[in-house]
């Protein structure tokens, strides 16, 4: 393991790169068997930033992308 420290600040975007709208934030529970309550279980939840603008070009579906909602494609096969 390295003891080097990166002193460079991390750039974290606050606005959509496509339309300029301020990004919204959400927490997604990756384990759908959990009860629907705001309970933090490390490793099962992920925080995401997303563009809330419904007219944003980033929401346009391209022909070569998977048609299944929530699918990232690939052969991950889930957890």
What does the pLDDT look like over 37-66, one tens digit per residue? 666 556 677 888 999 999 999 888 776 555
Residue 22: the pLDDT is: 96
Q: Of 28, 72, 31, give the one whose Cα is nearest residue 47.
A: 28
The answer to whether position 70 is within a domain reads no
Percent of the chain whose pLDDT exceeds 90: 28
The answer to whether position 75 is within a domain reads no
The answer to whether position 7 is within a domain reads no
Residue 71 has pLDDT above 60, yes or no: no
Beta partners for residue 24, in sequence order: 50
The answer to whether position 62 is within a domain reads no
Percent of the chain whose pLDDT exceeds 70: 61
The answer to whether position 22 is within a domain reads yes
The answer to whether position 64 is within a domain reads no
Residue 3 has pLDDT above 80, yes or no: no
Which one-letter DSSP state was computed for residue 38?
Answer: -
Place of tokens 């975007």: 13
The answer to whether position 76 is within a domain reads no
The answer to whether position 17 is within a domain reads yes
Q: How many independent structural domains does the chain possess?
A: 1
Is there a contact between 50 and 16 (Cβ–Cβ < 8 Å)?
no
Q: Of 46, 60, 57, 69, give the one whose Cα is nearest residue 16.
A: 57
In this prediction, residue 31 has a pLDDT band, given cuts at 50, 70 and 90, of confident
Domain that holds residue 51: 13-33+40-57
Average pLDDT, the chain: 75
């Amino acid at each position: 393991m390295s003891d080097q420290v990166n002193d460079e600040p991390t750039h974290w975007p606050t606005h959509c790169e496509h339309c300029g709208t301020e990004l919204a934030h959400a927490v997604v529970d990756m384990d759908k068997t959990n009860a629907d309550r705001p309970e933090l279980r490390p490793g099962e939840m992920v925080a995401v930033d997303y563009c809330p603008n419904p007219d944003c070009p980033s929401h346009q579906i391209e022909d070569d992308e998977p048609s299944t909602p929530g699918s990232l494609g690939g052969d991950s096969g889930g957890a």
